[in-house]
Amino acid sequence: MDSTNSGVVWDKFHIYQGHRVNIPYIQIGAKRKNPPCLKLEKHPNAIKRALHYKELLDSGQVDSQGELSRLSGTPRTTISAYLRLLGLDEEVRAEALNLSDENERVARLTEPRLRHLVGLQPAEQLRQFRALLDATEPHEASRRIR
């Protein structure tokens, strides 16, 4: 390459400069694009939300929990916690899915309240799940289950 055509190579690159956390930087290359944002349905029912996350992963719209986290703005640990709820007994999941989103008892089905049910035997899961739904006040639900 001689001095007459040296500009050909540099015309393909862009040079950006700025500061990140008070540290100056120079970047050579194409300008980074912001990742596309993924619109998630925010179900009040934790089981429905977990199924939505699983559907996105299984359909190939996202490759991993990390990518789902990055695109949705939800922490990866939160996504993992919701996906663990799919380990609940089939009967418990069916009862949770049969509740309409307008039902006030759905507000009691949060991930933290359902999390401890995952490791229990199916009969005990169902008993504690029903106790959670029958609680009249939110703080009573956590007392009654334990």
Residue 106 Cα to chain centre, angstroms: 19
Mean pLDDT of 70-92: 93
CATH number for the domain that contains residue 87 = 1.10.10
User: Per-residue pLDDT tens for 20-76?
Assistant: 667 776 766 665 555 566 777 788 889 999 999 999 999 888 889 998 988 888 899
Q: What is the pLDDT of residue 5?
A: 55
- List C-alpha distances in Å: 72 to 3, 8, 54, 81: 48, 40, 14, 15
User: Per-residue pLDDT tens for 109-141?
Assistant: 889 999 999 999 999 999 999 999 887 655 555
Whether 79 maps to a domain, the answer reads yes
DSSP per-residue codes, 12-35: T--EEEEEETTEEEEEESSPPPPP
Q: How many domains does the chain have?
A: 1
Whether 97 maps to a domain, the answer reads yes
0.75 exceeded by pTM: no
Whether 1 maps to a domain, the answer reads no
**What span, in angstroms and rounded, lies between the C-alpha atoms of 8 and 1?**
10
Whether 59 maps to a domain, the answer reads yes
Q: How many CA atoms lie within 13 A of 21 on its CB side?
A: 0
Mean pLDDT of 100-113: 86
